[in-house]
């Protein structure tokens, strides 16, 4: 069967087609006050048909002419936005006529350069950011995070936190976003660099004083019920004021938390002693193990400050972990110096809140079955898809 478009594709472009193309483009580019809405879209339909058969240079000229014309027909803009990047960049970078559906469609169908251009736009809608967060290349994601005009919904931040585990360069950008919540930042803490960790501890740790005061009577009610309700007990773990496990002293072979720390310097820190330090500090074994095995060491400063351990014990535990206090030239080891500085800048209340959040989120949801599954495996309304501790545990411990 003969293709009716074949003559248009093979015959040389004449002066009439060139003139018509330019006249139609002039009409489409007219301000709204000069061309009726109906006429503009009729002309746009004709122009679009001609663009299908136009040379690349003509498409680029069209995109350049319409770069600042938000009144241009949407179908024409969408077509130009999905052409080669040399054409598309003119409208993607500047034209404000695209809506969220247009930009998402272009992001899905375009190349990496298209997604980067979308991410750098003056305004990037939330649904587009959600798509870019999960599927876009890292340069586009970084551009979006650095763009104050990008509206990042919670789902986008969740996806970016997950990606940041393998792409650590996203962490400094994520911590600067106002949309990042404390639960998301605290999960990201464990794989962030030292500068980002410091920002997380300074910006996202709360003192929870108002929360403690408001819920004070609930502790008495829970005690009267012998802490029998697991839901209440779990929730109050994050709110409770006291950090050390006072009842642990009677069962411990050590007289105090400080005594256990001293033992680490004498005998080295094995798994049994690490668990005992965590027990005396009011931490679950998985939380204590995460803090004491962490290469950065900032968690140790939080542990000491939150439990009221003197700064003098920092080098003691550091030695017990077989980590150097000094460099070869006799100066203070930079890792230890950084941890000591964290100890100084953290308040007791914020350090306690951080410890309690880690303990609450890492231990209460830590189970092999929970970590074996992913959030995508669960039904849409499953509790684990909304639970902060379960999401954090999956991020920190699961793959």
Based on DSSP, count helices (H) and strands (E) in the chain, helices before strands. 26, 0
Same domain, 93 and 218: no
What is residue 125's predicted lDDT score, i.e. its pLDDT? 97
DSSP state of 110: S
- SS3 assignment, position 150: strand
Name the nearest CA neighbour of 391 among 213, 181, 236, 214: 181
Cβ neighbours around 138 below 10 Å, total:
12
Q: Within a domain: residue 256?
A: yes
Name the nearest CA neighbour of 345 among 199, 210, 212: 199
Residue 268 to residue 262: CA distance in whole angstroms: 10
CB contact at 8 A, 370 and 397: no
Q: How far is CA 32 from the centre of its chain?
A: 42
Q: Within a domain: residue 107?
A: no
Residue 52: give the domain boundaries: 1-98
Q: Within a domain: residue 4?
A: yes
CB contact at 8 A, 245 and 306: no
| Residue 321: both structure tokens together | 């972990």
Q: Within a domain: residue 114?
A: no
What is residue 384's predicted lDDT score, i.e. its pLDDT? 53
Same domain, 222 and 346: yes
Q: What is the pTM of this model?
A: 0.81
Q: Which of 50, 71, 98 is the endpoint of a domain?
A: 98
Q: Which residues neighbour 377 within 8 Å (Cβ) at sequence distance 6 or greater?
A: none
What is residue 80's predicted lDDT score, i.e. its pLDDT? 97
Residue 166 to residue 147: CA distance in whole angstroms: 22
CB contact at 8 A, 283 and 302: no
Same domain, 93 and 215: no
CB contact at 8 A, 362 and 322: no
Q: Within a domain: residue 318?
A: yes
Q: Which residues neighbour 253 within 8 Å (Cβ) at sequence distance 6 or greater?
A: 276
What is the tally of structural domains in the chain?
2
Residue 180 to residue 200: CA distance in whole angstroms: 10
Q: Which of 82, 98, 114 is the endpoint of a domain?
A: 98
Residue 235 to residue 169: CA distance in whole angstroms: 34
| Residue 294: both structure tokens together | 């962490």
Residues of the chain falling short of pLDDT 50: 1-8, 364-375, 399
Q: What tens digit of pLDDT does each residue of 60-118 get?
A: 999 999 999 998 999 999 999 999 999 999 999 989 999 999 999 999 999 999 999 99
- SS3 assignment, position 124: strand
Q: Within a domain: residue 190?
A: no
Cβ neighbours around 33 below 10 Å, total:
5
Burial of 213 (C-beta count, 10 Å sphere; 0-12/13-18/19+): exposed
What is residue 389's predicted lDDT score, i.e. its pLDDT? 56
Q: Within a domain: residue 195?
A: no
Helix (H), strand (E) at residue 180:
none
Residue 141 to residue 173: CA distance in whole angstroms: 10
Q: Within a domain: residue 354?
A: yes
Q: Which of 98, 125, 146 is the endpoint of a domain?
A: 98
Residue 8 to residue 240: CA distance in whole angstroms: 77
| Residue 188: both structure tokens together | 């990201």
| Residue 225: both structure tokens together | 């019920």
What is residue 12's predicted lDDT score, i.e. its pLDDT? 65
DSSP state of 13: P
CA angle at 161 for the pair 170 and 110, rounded to the nearest 5°: 70
What is residue 391's predicted lDDT score, i.e. its pLDDT? 59
DSSP state of 273: H
Residue 264 to residue 270: CA distance in whole angstroms: 8
């Amino acid at each position: 069967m003969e293709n009716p478009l074949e003559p248009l594709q093979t015959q040389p472009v004449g002066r009439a087609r060139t003139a018509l193309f330019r006249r139609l483009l002039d009409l489409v580019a007219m301000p709204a006050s000069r061309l009726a809405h109906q006429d503009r879209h009729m002309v746009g339909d004709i122009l679009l048909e001609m663009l299908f058969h136009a040379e690349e240079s003509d498409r680029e000229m069209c995109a350049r002419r319409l770069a600042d014309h938000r009144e241009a027909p949407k179908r024409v803009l969408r077509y130009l936005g999905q052409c080669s990047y040399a054409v598309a960049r003119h409208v993607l970078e500047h034209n404000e006529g695209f809506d969220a559906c247009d930009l998402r469609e272009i992001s899905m169908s375009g190349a990496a350069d298209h997604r980067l251009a979308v991410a750098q736009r003056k305004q990037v809608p939330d649904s587009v950011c959600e798509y870019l967060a999960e599927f876009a290349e890292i340069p586009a994601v970084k551009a979006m995070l650095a763009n104050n005009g990008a509206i990042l919904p919670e789902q986008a931040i969740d996806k970016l936190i997950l990606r940041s585990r393998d792409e650590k360069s996203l962490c400094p950008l994520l911590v600067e976003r106002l949309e990042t919540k404390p639960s998301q930042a605290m999960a990201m803490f464990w794989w962030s660099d030292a500068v980002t960790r410091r920002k997380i501890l300074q910006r996202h740790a709360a003192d929870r004083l108002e929360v403690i005061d408001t819920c004070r009577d609930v502790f008495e009610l829970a005690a009267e019920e012998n802490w029998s309700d697991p839901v209440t007990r779990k929730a109050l773990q994050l709110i409770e004021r006291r950090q050390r496990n006072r009842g642990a002293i009677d069962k411990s072979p050590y007289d105090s938390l400080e005594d256990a720390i001293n033992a680490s310097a004498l005998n080295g820190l094995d798994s049994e002693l690490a668990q005992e330090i965590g027990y005396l500090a009011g931490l679950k074994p998985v939380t204590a193990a995460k803090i004491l095995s962490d290469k950065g060491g900032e968690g140790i400063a939080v542990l000491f400050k939150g439990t009221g351990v003197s700064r003098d014990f920092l080098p003691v535990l550091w030695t017990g972990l077989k980590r150097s206090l000094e460099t070869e030239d006799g100066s203070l080891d930079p890792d230890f110096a950084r941890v000591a500085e964290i100890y100084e800048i953290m308040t007791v209340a914020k350090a306690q809140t951080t410890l309690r959040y880690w303990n609450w989120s890492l231990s209460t949801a830590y189970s092999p079955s929970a970590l074996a599954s992913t959030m995508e495996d669960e039904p849409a309304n499953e509790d684990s898809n909304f639970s902060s501790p379960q999401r954090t545990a999956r991020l920190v411990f699961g793959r």
